[in-house]
A and B are shown apart, each in its own frame.
Chain A
Amino acid sequence: DSGVTQTPKHLITATGQRVTLRCSPRSGDLSVYWYQQSLDQGLQFLIHYYNGEERAKGNILERFSAQQFPDLHSELNLSSLELGDSALYFCASRRDDWGYTFGSGTRLTVV
């Protein structure tokens, strides 16, 4: 157990629907990063939150949004889902040391 908790582990939904992915960082970590990993693809940065504030945006679609709550957990909202959104979504947290700790990911399948 890495200490970073992601739920749900698997999600199957239909095109056009909306889903919410949840991430709880390691205790004491203020930063949460979201990444998308498509089949045989690398890790694409989506968005970064630090202590409740958005700090950086990467290749995140307008249909996607995120937030970080006062208890530091974060949610990634994906709407108007398309087949191409099927992927593994990872969150990671980081403390003062620079390496990430990843959660186990949420596998999203859009049918």
Chain B
Amino acid sequence: GENVEQHPSTLSVQEGDSAVIKCTYSDSASNYFPWYKQELGKRPQLIIDIRSNVGEKKDQRIAVTLNKTAKHFSLHITETQPEDSAVYFCAATLSGNTPLVFGKGTRLSVIA
């Protein structure tokens, strides 16, 4: 089955700097890669996703890139703000109805 590895497990950045979180997946057939943000004690919320027919997607300060050949995808947050502090999870799945497999998460701290 699919296996998703996520790095780093913790990340501290200064406010205004960029943050990058990387994930690798094992199943080359996976074709959907969402990213979730989870604030302390709250539910994970989808912040951006990408499908395998696209190499990059942007939404304001957030972007995701996908390299299918290398089987890795990354989350980029620019101009970080204190409210970006949270745990971020990447995930991968084979198709629209199969379960998402999550990475173990990255705890991002943005220092003001």
Contact = CB atoms under 8 A, between A and B. Distances in A.
Interface of A: 2, 31, 33, 35, 41-43, 45, 48, 50, 55-56, 58, 90, 94, 96-105
Interface of B: 32, 34, 36, 42-46, 49, 51, 89, 93, 96-105
A97 B100 CA distance: 13
Contacts of A98: 32, 34, 49, 51, 93, 96
B97 A45 contact: no
Nearest to A44: B102
Contacts of B100: 33, 45, 100
A45 B99 contact: yes
Contacts, number: 53
B42 A99 contact: no
A42 B103 CA distance: 7
B100 to A, nearest CB: 6
Nearest to B98: A56
User: Which one of A96, A100, A101, A105 has the greatest number of beta carbons of chain B within 10 Å?
Assistant: A100
Nearest to A41: B104
A90 B99 contact: no
A16 B88 CA distance: 34
